[in-house]
Structure 1
Amino acid sequence: MNMNSLANLFEESVRQYGDNIAVRNKDMQFTYKETNILANKMAMYIKDKGINKGDNVGIYIEKSEQVLFLIIALLKSGVTYVPIDPKSPDERVKHIIKNSELKLLIGDKSRISDIGCNFVSIDEVIDKSKGMTGENVHTLIEPEDPAYIIFTSGSTGKPKGVCVSHENVMNLFYGCDDLFEFTNKDKWTFFHSYAFDFSVWEMWGAWIYGGEVVVVSFEESRNPISFVELLINTQTTVFNCTPSAFFEVSGELINRQNELSLKYIIFGGEALNFKKLAQWFSPENGRLPKLINMYGITETTVHVTYKEIAKGDVEKGMTNIGKVLPHLGFKVMNQNGEEVTGDEEGELYVSGKGVSLGYYKNPMMNEMKFTDIDNVRYYKSGDIVKLLDDGDLQYISRNDEQVQLRGFRIELGEIESAYNELQNIKNAVVTMDKAFNDDMHLFLYYVADEELAADYLRESVKSSLPAYMIPSFFIKVDNIPLTVNGKLDKSLLPKIIIKDREALPNFKNPVDETISEKVRELVVSIIGNGVIKNNQSLLESGMNSLSIMRLIVNIKNQFHIEIAPSFLLENDTIMKLSEVIEARQKEEVKQDYTPIHINARNTYPLTYEQENLWFIHQTNVDKSLYNIVFSYEIAGEVNEGNLGLSLNKLSNKHQILKSVIREEAGMGILVFDESIHHDINYFDVSDFL
């Protein structure tokens, strides 16, 4: 077989591992054969919509197994897919649609108005493709043809599209082949947004070797307990993540290490703090997987270096990104464009078969970021590194305004542009720095006639910036300090002052001081803000979505009480949390723990998982988000009467099949309704087969 493209590689895996599971999402699983047929049908339907090889097609739907089928379908058609995260603000989505010159957008039209290109819903693609042939699509794809365009943050205030070819991705795995022991038995988490290039590694790392992609929902990715449970239940072997995401789940991974099947945890997306890994290498933790640090850049196709982390690396504490991958080359250059000598620091230039096609129709940026040295094309990374004696590279810092925070590449200039457009802000600059317990945060320094409320500053940019680009802290200054050359002098910006907010009412603590002190210790250990008051908002004191999840886990471990994220947000002070915990504990004491008489009870409190799903259902426009769809093939004639009778007899034996979630006093409860009767609807689809 001609191995010129990712489509060819997938079809080769279908030939070798046809009955292996290729995609799993909750209770649904699809073999390589089934996945290939579904992708072929989609490809045929998309072709009938007038889409041809070389066209750009956008994907703008929630992460699911359908995203994976669609990506394969588009690649089989020789189409360049353009992933757009459904959580992106409208302005960003419109910019991507316009600047990638989409011929078609596949998604949910209700998400955005004035799309500006042809549109088809994912439901239509699924429905109309059923009648298409499932035979392989024969499109001549060359290795240098583009596979995808991913938009990264832009210093001018607008994202820029990086165009990556089929051979760029294939060479990534050829270069890593001897570094890992990947097999057709491996199961990979599809943990990240498909608009983040780490997802390319997750998908094709599984499929090239005949392994399985396990879809992780957004909710699971933000809940350490649920996520680790998923890893255990699916026997996942490869977990890729940013360091920020890892440190949220690491405690749960250590606690349940004997139940894990993990071989590798692979870091990428941001600098790794090696010192925080000390517990991982404790003598009692002998059943944990290997940790691999892989520095990478979208412009050079996901990964650039490889470093297997040992205990000695953790003790040294430096950010060691390892050696450059075999299919790549590199130089470390000083500001004069000369290669450094000895242990000098310099900017990392990357060459080789992973260097992408460049920025899509952006000659100015291509000229700025790509260069030829001795007839070899290099990408100028903007990262300052130092070459160590053993050939490893030490990451030092960025040399421009681009940073990485919780796995996202961010141009600080893009955030500054959004705030400088506000009428009551005269000037604004953004920095990233450590706060409290060494967690990285974004800081906005602004010049205005008066101090502006933090809530206003967050809300006013939500339409143009994704949540991860909204600063945590806002500092009003009289002016922005400049150097003699007229450039920003960040060294003169004031550091955040953690004030003991005397202005806040000094309420008498109404709860058990032992409880409030323990809650305080948990909060301070996570956000590091030692002067936070008991009635001070956690969100305004350094807490973010990741640290909220860590606090939920720690509360469960300390007090044996489960709190939903939404409930914590409603009670986001130490005092309120303490009151909730004390009330829950008193409820536990009051209970007699007598056996439950099932038939004498019709209402039940929601479990932690049910409460989460109920909350999502209440706040999500798409009420069918968690509907479970599955099918069974029944051989022979179906006795409709007996089938219906059997279903209802079964539901009489299991109360959950006759239960619904209802709202009482603002809370969800599970209600058993004996009057529920299940009817089966029958449809004759023989004409569609």
Structure 2
Amino acid sequence: MTTALDRSLGAGLLHHASVLPDRVALTIGRRDYTYEETATVARRWAAALVEAADGRPRRIGVLADRSEVSYLGVAAALFAGAAFVPLNRKFPAARTRTMLARAEVDAVLADAASAARLPELLEGLERRPVVLLPDTARTEVPGLDGYRVLDAADLARFAPSAELPGPGPDDLAYLLFTSGSTGRPKGVPVTHGNVRAFLDANRDRYRLTPDDRLTQTFDQTFDLSVFDLFMAWDNGARVCSMDPIELLAPFRYLERNGITVWFSVPSVAAVLRRRGVLRPGTMPTLRWSLFCGEALPRAIAEDWQAAAPHSTVENLYGPTELTIACTAYRWDPATGPAECVHDNVPIGRPYPGLDAVVVDERLADVPDGEAGELCVAGPQTTPGYWRAPELTARRYFERDGLRYYRTGDLVRYLNGQYVCLGRNDQQVKIGGHRVELGEIEGALRRAGAPEAVALQWPDAQTVTAVVSGTADPTALADACADGLPAYMVPRTVRVVDEMPVNANGKVDRPALIRWLDETASGPRPHEVGDAASGPRPRAVRDAVSEPR
């Protein structure tokens, strides 16, 4: 008989702890955690959370990164019947404090590397959450006077919870905060029903088994991390947490751990390709290669397919508001290149049970083949923004009994699938002409730029391109002049050694704008300066070329 718990996030971990107790559920570095150990420890922490909250807690902050606490803490929150709220110690303190305040967390789990930040992050909160330090002694974290603290010794005295709450499909599984245009993080509440619909669709698509081993390349404040953890645990497989430094040369890691499922943002593959290490046959253990989070360039798909010849390459697409991903495209080396638009791989078709429409500014359907905003309805559509009814009303709408989310992404429906043209705020007007910045980026990539970003800068009538690597800016500008209308040709092409990326590994467009602003009166062409402040600034080479 199916119970509410059977359909909740985390049920797979409990099930496999009973039927496959000695199989490895999680690998962090060289340390393996069996299903039985993972579930037992998480249930022990869950018992502490329930006791500390004097009943079922509502939301639990997890301030940890690629550690036992970060993964088992998520499971503990779910086993306590609460939603987890992932937090990142690398984020600015004011941002994390805002998340804690808006989420009204009942407790915070912190790992040893993050615990020192707690006094600063908790300062000024109206509610005083309970603090759990599973791998730290309370004496190592001064400044928590007035808070109830349960450290490693305290938690060891709890018996694992025997009775676990059974959350319903409308109960929250996690609350994720994403960037907001106002500078204030937007809260996206995701229900157990939302995640279960996503996991069900992907269970049927990928048919994972206990012999599969999945990468974990994402920070847990990026919702794609949910795929790795729970697709593994739902199927009795193993998830392997990769250190960010290992992403720069992952081949030995993949071989040593027998990885069969790779999942990352395309930027990770772009770095490998640019460095010349993405060579044919270098990843023979992979059987699935999945990319999501930003556009997947054709050249990346082709080179990755050659490097992982036994794997199927897929491009996934979806905003957080549609629960991790909502469409997928399976790359075919024979037919895929011809189906690319702006030199990017299509985003494919919606998952079963989802309904997609393409609309204009008035929310009227546009004919197939014409550009419009993608909107999606179905069981993966989240309830709305966290305590933000006005924002929810702007981004969700009702039609024919279905509730659609407006993605803000421009797409076309071609040959039975969707191709993404970029954000609707990346369709700009130059001299009265509508210009899709993604089309300019595609022209630059076809001309040889490994990565290319087109920006409306320094004013609304000017396009500036930024490319990475050793590309010749003059040749790129000439190629654009040969293949694009004059009003679409970038005024200048600048070269950076590597693109700045944000915390989720995506190309950081705002950081590029800041860099352009700062270098406008700074280093001259071919001088070496510093990239604008961003998540991972790097040295840049400022090469400027005026197209002919």
Q: How many Å separate the matches in 2 of 1:177 and 1:110?
A: 39
Answer yes or no: is the 8 Å Cα contact 1:331–1:339 preserved in 2. yes
Equivalent in the alignment of 2:432:
none
What is the CA distance between 1:543 and its match in structure 2? 12
CA distance in 2, matches of 1:90, 1:39: 27
SS in 2 for 1:24: strand
Give the structure-2-normalised TM-score: 0.74
Q: What amino acid does structure 2 have at the position aligned with 1:10?
A: L
In the alignment, does 2:362 pair up with 1:362?
no
- Partners of 1:215 and 1:368 lie apart in 2 by 37
Q: 2:532, 2:181 → 1: CA distance?
A: 29
Where 2:314 maps in the other structure, the secondary structure is strand
Change over 3 Å in CA distance of 1:233–1:218 after alignment to 2: same
SS at structure 2 position matched to 1:179:
helix
1:229 aligned onto 2:252: yes
Matched pairs, number: 451
Picking from 39, 52, 61, the partner of 1:58 is 61
User: 1:120 deviation in Å?
Assistant: 1.4
- The alignment partner of 1:139 has SS state of coil
1:43 corresponds to which residue? 46
Amino acid at match of 1:267: F
Match of 1:471 in 2: 511
SS at match of 1:385: strand
Match in the other structure for 2:364: 338
Which one of 442, 453, 462 corresponds to residue 440 of structure 1?
A: 453
- What aligned pairs does 1:407-446 form with structure 2 within 5 A after superposition? 438-440=451-453
Please give the per-residue CA displacement for 1:260-300, whole angstroms capped at 9, x wherever unaligned.
Answer: 31111111001111144343456xx6735221000111001
Q: Distance in 2 between matches of 1:68 and 1:541?
A: 33
Partner of 1:246: 269
Question: Which residue identity does 1:118 align to in structure 2?
Answer: P
- Contact kept in structure 1, 2:8 and 2:166, CA below 8 Å: no
Distance 1:266 1:276, change over 3 A: closer
Cα gap change, 1:161/1:402 in structure 2, threshold over 3 Å: closer, same or farther? farther
Say whether the 8 Å CA contact 1:23–1:65 is kept in structure 2: no
Q: Does 1:154 align with 2:167?
A: no
Q: What is the identity percentage for the equivalent residue pairs of Structure 1 and Structure 2?
A: 24
TM-aligned CA deviation for residue 178 of structure 1: 2.7
The alpha carbon displacement at 1:573 in A equals: 8.0
Counterparts of 1:111 and 1:541 in 2: how far apart (Å)? Answer: 25
Which of 163, 166, 172 is equivalent to 2:189?
Answer: 163
CA shift, 1:257, in A, is: 2.8
Find the counterpart in structure 1 of residue 239 from structure 2. 213
Does residue 1:383 correspond to 2:433, yes or no?
A: no
In 1, Cα distance between equivalents of 2:419 and 2:57 = 40
1:308-361 residue CA offsets vs partner (Å, 9 max, x unmatched): 111221244323101101131111112222112232221111111111122111
Native 8 Å contact 2:52 2:130 kept in 1: no
Indicate the residue corresponding to 1:262 in structure 2: 286
> Rg: which structure is higher?
1
| Amino acid aligned to 2:74 | I
Deviations 1:615-662 (A, max 9, x none): xxxxxxxxxxxxxxxxxxxxxxxxxxxxxxxxxxxxxxxxxxxxxxxx
Distance 2:216 2:172 in 1: 22
Q: 1:62 to 1:69 in 2, by over 3 A?
A: same
Q: Pick from 13, 28, 33: which aligns with 1:30?
A: 33
Question: How far apart in 1 are the matches of 2:511 and 2:410?
Answer: 25
Which AA in structure 2 matches 1:369?
Answer: R
1:424 is matched with which residue? none
Change (3 A) 1:441 1:95: farther
Larger deviation, residues 61-70 vs 364-373: 61-70
Task: Please give the alpha-carbon distance, in whole angstroms, between the structure 2 residues aligned to 1:120 and 1:182.
Answer: 36
1:272 equivalenced with 2:296 (yes/no): yes
Aligned residue type for 1:472: L
Structure 1 residues 114 and 172 mapped into 2: Cα distance closer, same or farther (>3 Å)? closer
Q: 1:104 — aligned with what?
A: 107
Asked whether the equivalents of residues 332 and 346 of structure 1 are also in contact (C-alpha less than 8 Å), the reply is yes
Determine if contact 1:383/1:395 at 8 Å carries over to the other structure: yes
Q: Is the 8 A contact 2:398 2:404 kept in 1?
A: yes
> Are positions 1:326 and 2:348 aligned together?
no
Counterpart contact for 2:269–2:304, Cα < 8 Å: no
Q: Work out whether residues 69 and 109 of structure 2, in 8 Å CA contact, stay in contact via their aligned partners in 1.
A: no
Asked if the contact 1:24/1:65 (under 8 Å) is kept, the reply is no
Letter of the 1:110 partner, please give it: A
Q: Cα deviations across residues 10-52 of structure 1 (Å, max 9, x unaligned)?
A: 2122223222100111221111111110001110111222264
CA distance in 1, matches of 2:166, 2:83: 14
Q: 1:443 to 1:61 in 2, by over 3 A?
A: farther
Equivalent residue runs for 1:525-564 within 5 Å = 533=526, 536-537=527-528, 539-540=530-531
Q: Is the 8 A contact 1:347 1:382 kept in 2?
A: yes
Q: 2: CA distance between counterparts of 1:95 and 1:346? A: 34
Give the distance between the partners of 1:87 and 1:30, measured in 2 at CA: 26
Aligned twin of 1:88: 91
CA contact (8 A) 2:368 2:412 kept: no
Q: Deviations over 1:360-385 (max 9, x none)?
A: 11111111111110111111111111
Equivalence for 1:314: 337
1:12 aligns with 2:15: yes
- Structure 1, gaps ≥5 residues long: 404-430, 447-461, 478-495, 502-531, 549-568, 575-689
Q: 2:207 — aligned with what? A: 181
Letter of the 2:320 counterpart: T
Distance in 2 (CA, whole Å) between partners of 1:240 and 1:467 is 17
Q: CA deviation at 1:157?
A: 1.8
What's the secondary structure of 1:173's corresponding residue?
helix
* CA distance in structure 2 between the aligned counterparts of 1:442 and 1:342, rounded to whole angstroms: 28
Aligned residue runs from structure 1 range 499-510, under 5 A:
501=524
Contact 2:511 2:533 in 1 (8 A): no
The separation in 2 between residues aligned to 1:337 and 1:11, in whole angstroms, is 44
Instruction: Tell me the CA shift for residue 59 of structure 1.
Output: 1.1
Q: 2:315 aligns with which of 293, 305, 308?
A: 293
**How far does the alpha carbon of each residue in 1:71-107 deviate from its partner, in whole angstroms, 9 at most, with x for none?**
1110011111111111101111111111112222222
Could you say which residue in structure 1 is the equivalent of 2:220? 194
Q: 1:243 to 1:476 in 2, by over 3 A?
A: closer
Deviations 1:208-263 (A, max 9, x none): 00000111123323xx22x3221111111111111111222356774373563111
- For the 8 Å contact 1:228–1:253, the answer to whether it is kept is no
Deviations 1:436-489 (A, max 9, x none): 75433778759xxxxxxxxxxxxxxx9xxx995752354559xxxxxxxxxxxx
The residue type paired with residue 290 of structure 2 is I
